[in-house]
Amino acid sequence: MTGLRWWAAFAVFAHHMSNLAPLPIQHALVYGNYGVTFFFVLSGFVLTWSARPETTTSTFWWRRFARIYPSHFVALLLAIPVFYSFAPDPADWWVKPFDIGILLLSVVLLQGWSRDPVILFSGNPAAWTLTCEAFFYALHPALYRAFVTLRVRGALIATASVFAAALAYRLAVVLLPDSGLGALPLPITRLSEFVIGIGIAHAMRMGWRVHIKPIYCYLAGGLLLAAILLAPRIASPGSPAWFFLATSNEWIILLFAATIAAVAWRDVRKRFSLLRSRPLVLLGEWSYAFYLVHATIIYAVLAIFGAQDTGWVNLLWYAAVLAVSIAAAAALHYLVERPLERRLRSWWDRRAALRLTASTS
């Protein structure tokens, strides 16, 4: 699963590189933004798979804070010089006038509750997803308790119901454009992805055997992307192709859920997988840090060298920026993410042990 995380992060990187060095296949690479969707489903899966009944809610929340916040704060400080200016009308389109109030929303991970791009993408633009994750973490203990009494069939029915609700919401947004449903905050609209991850993880913990080979999921992903790219040619209002495009987000979620389940089941059975190779595991371990820094590096390069013309020669830019981003991610992981998470968790565990000793003495 760690190796799989890398490919999701790389997909987001490829999507953002279109602003610096677009490739002739950019119409396909734009769907790399769905790497975020994959992370949301995976987050629900991993947190549920690793959940232990003896872990208190406060301990769970602290551990999530220790996991994501130190790197987020450092990456935010690194992003400010790239994405902000004290000039009232910055020359570059991605640079915003400095606003301490809006930046403070990024510090406390509240920026993702706004649909205003100036606020939503404030601070480190990639960090809007952390607002969603913080919301998911706040709800996970309650959501986990809702699933914990379910057996395999109940968990799968609940998961299918969440998927159906997400599909209905998407159709409502498309068919009722004046309803205001499309303006709901992202943490709410993306919650279904997290809950679907919870559902499939709990079903597997209860004994669900996943009879799907990962290779079939990868092939299905290629076919789904091809269908999404080709459907506009035959999509007319109200046609099946039109409805397929309108709900493509949910079909991608379903694909990701199946892929995560298939790969996890292969891990459980300890079958051979290239995803467990040392290089991919390392890249997967660095993937969170990579996600946080890659956009800052891309736009810093864009500010210096400008946007490039579309062409295959831009693969050289991909290689160079990717190498710098991986190096920066490794540094952030080893200098900030891992040591501060360890220290924060250790401090909390010592504090909890002292409180337990005091209460029993």
> For residue range 127-161, what is the model confidence (pLDDT) as tens digits?
999 999 999 999 999 999 999 999 999 999 999 99
For 85, phi then psi, to 5°, come to -145, 150
Structure tokens at 170: 């998407």
Mean pLDDT of 44-54: 94
Structure tokens at 80: 């400010």
Helices 152-175 and 191-205: crossing angle, nearest 10°? 160
Residue 32 pLDDT level (bands cut at 50, 70, 90): very high
Q: Which helix (H) or strand (E) holds 144?
A: helix 128-148
Average pLDDT of the chain is 94
- Over the stretch 268-304, which tens digit does the pLDDT of each residue have? 888 878 888 899 999 999 999 999 999 999 999 999 9
Task: Note the pLDDT of residue 90.
Answer: 85
The fraction of the chain above a pLDDT of 70, given in percent, is 100
- Over the stretch 82-105, which tens digit does the pLDDT of each residue have? 999 988 888 888 999 999 999 999
Assess whether pLDDT exceeds 70 at residue 361.
Answer: no
- Over the stretch 260-270, which tens digit does the pLDDT of each residue have? 999 999 988 88
Assess whether pLDDT exceeds 90 at residue 347.
Answer: yes
User: Within 10 Å of residue 209's Cβ, how many Cβ atoms?
Assistant: 11
Assess whether pLDDT exceeds 90 at residue 359.
Answer: no
The CA-based angle 335-290-198, given to 5 degrees, is: 105
- Over the stretch 67-83, which tens digit does the pLDDT of each residue have? 999 999 999 999 999 99
Burial of 323: CB neighbours in 10 Å, binned 0-12, 13-18, 19+:
exposed
Q: What is the pTM of this model?
A: 0.94
Helices 278-305 and 57-83: crossing angle, nearest 10°? 30
326 versus 271: the higher-pLDDT residue is 326
The CA-based angle 276-296-126, given to 5 degrees, is: 70
Burial of 182: CB neighbours in 10 Å, binned 0-12, 13-18, 19+:
middle
Closest CA to 44 of 126, 154, 151, 163: 163
The fraction of the chain above a pLDDT of 90, given in percent, is 83
2 versus 338: the higher-pLDDT residue is 338
Assess whether pLDDT exceeds 80 at residue 258.
Answer: yes
Assess whether pLDDT exceeds 80 at residue 358.
Answer: no
Residue 238 pLDDT level (bands cut at 50, 70, 90): confident
How far apart CA 304 and CA 81 sit, in angstroms, is 13
Closest CA to 325 of 298, 344, 352: 298
Residue 84 neighbours by CB under 8 Å, 6+ apart? 95, 96, 97, 98, 103
The CA-based angle 127-132-134, given to 5 degrees, is: 90
Length of the chain, please? Answer: 361
